[in-house]
Each structure stands twice: as structure tokens, then as C-alpha cells.
Structure 1
Amino acid sequence: MAINLTAYKQVLAELVPYNARLVAVSKTKPVEDIEELYGQGQRIFGENYVQELVDKEGVLPHDIEWHFIGHLQTNKVKYIAPFVHTIHAVDSYKLLLEINKQALKHNRTVNCLLQLHIAAEETKFGMDTTELYTLLDTWQQEQPTFGGVRIAGLMAMATNTDDQQQIRKEFQQVKTIFDTVKHKYFSEQDYFKERSTGMSADYHIALEEGSTMIRIGSLLFGERNYNK
């Protein structure tokens, strides 16, 4: 399926009033599809699988800003540390440590978003607020050694439901936690500013509730075939 350029342009227009950015989720999609969207001016692409991201980065233009948005295992960090711009789903202190270690090996600073679990589904990854504050307390104490990571904000996925009020309530919860974290840990830092919330089905609500980055795939690229 070709890129849905009408949907792409509509999403870009919708982002303008909110000063938000689009992460085009290109997982399982061929290089040709990414090149087509790149030709339209899109530069931020999100991938979920490490090997697929490594393969695509090697053959696509080097001014692409690659975001890793899937669940990341610590033993896979080393493969993307040389080039990844932002890692959206940091859900443990162990993972944050490993990203820092691998980024420093390449004299880089990788943007990291801490993943909150706000959805009703237990299958989704992410930290509850207690785990989040424990991670941040530990990070704060060890901050001088964290030259390889920049905690740039929060990421969360809402419940997969048709109940828009529930989705809105969950995104509002992210805002409340974000404001608390910003005040307590990052009051003097301007880089803690991202809220990566909202996907194809709920990005309108996410934008209304303060999302700065929306992650959209199927709306732009069509449904995915995982059997390829």
C-alpha cells in the first residue's frame, strides 16, 4: 500500500496549533515507504525492533531522527546507541544505566523518555508512579555520572478502548505526573518537556491534553502484515 499522503498532510496540519511533532511509526514497513514519506519532508521515524532499525538506519539518509519506541532489552542497547536520537520506553533504572553506558562509549547523549503504565491492560509495559519516583530519586543522586542520557520527558499508552473519557482521564493523569516530576526534579532544566502520548486511534485526545509527540503508523502506512 502506498503512503496515505492525504492523512499525512491532515495530521501535520492538526499538529500546528499544539506545536507538537509527528513520529511516523514505520515498523515492519519497507525502506521504500520510509523514503516516500521522507520525500514529503518527514524526518522523525519510530521503530519497535532493534535489528530492523539497525538495518534501515544503514541504508536510509543520515539526517533521519530515529526514535526507538518499543520495549527495549538491555542487551540490545549497544546496537542502536551509536545513532538513536530518542528512546521512548525506558521502564527501569537498569535500562537507563545501560543506555548511559553505551551512549558514553560513542561520546553521545541519548534522549530518554520514562514510560508510565496508565492503561487498564496489564500487558502494557511501563512504571507506576512509585517505581517512577524511585528511579528518579536514584538518578538524581547519581546524576553526575549520567552524561550519556538526557531524561527528556514521559511516554505512555492509553487503554485500547472506545471510551474516550477513560482515554482522556489517562492522558490527564500523565499531565499531572509530568508537572509533578518537572517541578521536583527538572525545575531548572529546559530539556524535560516531552510527553509522548497518542497514536492513530487517540492522538486527537492526546493533543488536547498536552502531548508534544504523537506516534502514528497505520494511519499513514496502512495496516501491518506481521507474517512477511
Structure 2
Amino acid sequence: MSIASNLRAVKVRIAEAAARSGRDPKDISLVAVSKGRSIDLIKEAAENGQLAFGENRAQELREKQGLLSADLEWHFVGHLQRNKVNMVVGKVKLIHSLDSEKLAEAVDRRARALGIVQEVLLQVNISEEETKHGVDREEIEGLLEKALAMDGLIIRGLMTIAPLVDDEEEARPYFRKLRELRDMLAENYPQADLNILSMGMTQDFEIAVEEGANMLRIGTAIFA
């Protein structure tokens, strides 16, 4: 299948999942995860209307941005090391993976040096897996409070990666937990704009939509 037909198929599945949960598919953003994908494939996706792309390596992001249209919207969706902050802050619309106070301080410092405000999501290790990055649920309020006091960044919501499971239905409780956590934080911190829920990948995005995701990070279903 072509990238054009893959994109159409993904959008149909998003619309069907939205309909099952009484949602408008127009409220759901699609980030095409282009890590490891060629410039030609990204161009093909862009020619078919996909303009938001996600990368998880700072060097690859920089190289691709230098070769592609400035009209594309870039997201950083991988673990961000503090020594790579200068390569990412100010270069992307949204960083999905803020997961510590030290990283928040580094992003804030770089953004203020550039005279910008960087949009970020707090990455939550909702499944409590030792192998996954993300702040623990018990520490999320402390990180949010620290980040809200920083002038160089703005928290837009939460991100998580569900466990890899045999049956996508098994991912549902984790997506539900993130939505419930977001709702609790939004109530407790009304000054925060936590409208984005970035959750759902190729193997589980329909379940994520049913549980409230409004930003999906999909790679294989588009590019494979």
C-alpha cells in the first residue's frame, strides 16, 4: 500500500473510534512518527496532507529539518537528554517527553535564552514499568508545580506510552488512568492548560481514541 492509502486508512480508523466514543475526529491530531524514515517518504506523506511529524533523536531531527520544507510542524516524541536540549528547544512545536525537574530547568533556560516559550507535555510512566521513561504518578504534581513557575515553557498536557501487549484491549486501563490523572490535575491546577492527551500508537491508537486521546503518535501504520 502507498503512504496515501495508509493515511486514508488510519484516518478512517480514527473516525470510527471517535464515533464509538461520541467524539469529533476533527478534535484528534495525528503526528506521523518519522524516525528512521527517509526524506522521500516524509515528502510523500506531506504531499498527501500530513504536515505534523515526530522524531525521537535530536541529530536526526536537525538533519531532516535542514532538508525539508519549513512549513512542516515538528514534534519531539522521544526521551530528551539534557545535553541535547539546545538542539531541540525552539526547533519543534511540542516536546512530548518532559519527565524531570532537571530537564524542565534545562528547557526553561534554553527557551528564555532564545526569547521564546516552548510548549511541552509531561510524560507519565502510567504503567510503572522500570524500562520506561516518564515521571511517576506520585511525583507528577510536584513536577507540574515547578514547571508552572517557569517562564520559558508552557505545559500543554500529558503523554504516555502504554505497555506492549498481545491484545490492544489490555492497553485501555492505562489510557483511562492517564485521562483520569489529567482530569484531576486540571481540577486542582485550573491555571494550567492541560488539554492535550498524547497517547496511542500504531498498535493501540483506536483504544486510545476511545479513552480520550486527542493527539496520536503513529509511525508504522503510515510508513510501513
- TM-score (ref. length: structure 1): 0.89
How far apart, CA to CA, are the structure 1 residues paired with 2:57 and 2:88? 10
Q: Deviations over 1:186-210 (max 9, x none)?
A: x245x42000000000000000000
CA distance in 1, matches of 2:147, 2:98: 13
Runs of 4+ aligned residues of structure 1 deviating over 6 Å after TM superposition are none
1:154 aligns with 2:167: no
Q: Residue in 1 aligned with 2:221?
A: 219
Q: Secondary structure at the match of 1:28?
A: coil
Per-residue CA deviation, residues 72-102 of structure 1 (Å, 9 max, x unaligned), is 0011010122321100011101111111111
Corresponding residue number in structure 1 for 2:92: 84
Query: For the aligned residues, what is the CA RMSD?
Result: 1.6
Give 1:116-155 correspondences, 5 Å limit: 116-119=124-127, 121-140=129-148, 143=149, 146-155=150-159
Question: What is the alpha-carbon distance in structure 2 between the residues aligned to residue 108 and residue 41 of structure 1?
Answer: 28
CA contact (8 A) 2:3 2:44 kept: no
1:178 matched to 2:182? The reply is yes
For 1:124 and 1:205, the matched residues in 2 are separated by 20
| Partner residue in 2 for 1:58 | 66
What do residues 104-130 of structure 1 show as CA deviations (whole Å, max 9, x unaligned)? 222222111101112264211111111
Q: Residue 52 of structure 1 aligns to which amino acid in structure 2?
A: E
Can you list the C-alpha shifts for 1:34-75, whole angstroms capped at 9, x where unaligned?
Answer: 111011111110001110001111111111110000000011
Q: Distance in 2 between matches of 1:108 and 1:15?
A: 33
SS in 1 for 2:124: strand
Deviation of residue 5 (structure 1)?
2.1
Question: With structure 2 as the length reference, what TM-score do the two structures score?
Answer: 0.90
Q: CA deviation at 1:6?
A: 1.7
State the alpha-carbon separation in 2 of the partners of residues 134 and 209 from structure 1.
25
Secondary structure in 2 aligned to 1:29? Answer: coil
Runs of at least 5 residues in structure 1 that lack an aligned partner in the other structure: 223-228
Post-superposition Cα deviations, 1:135-187, rounded to whole Å, max 9, x if no partner, equal: 123334xx1xx2221100000011100244431111110011000111112x2
Question: Match of 1:38, SS?
Answer: helix
Q: Distance in 1 between matches of 2:123 and 2:90?
A: 22
Q: What is the alpha-carbon distance in structure 1 between the residues aligned to residue 57 and residue 154 of structure 2? A: 22
CA distance, structure 2, for counterparts of residue 203 and residue 165 of structure 1: 11
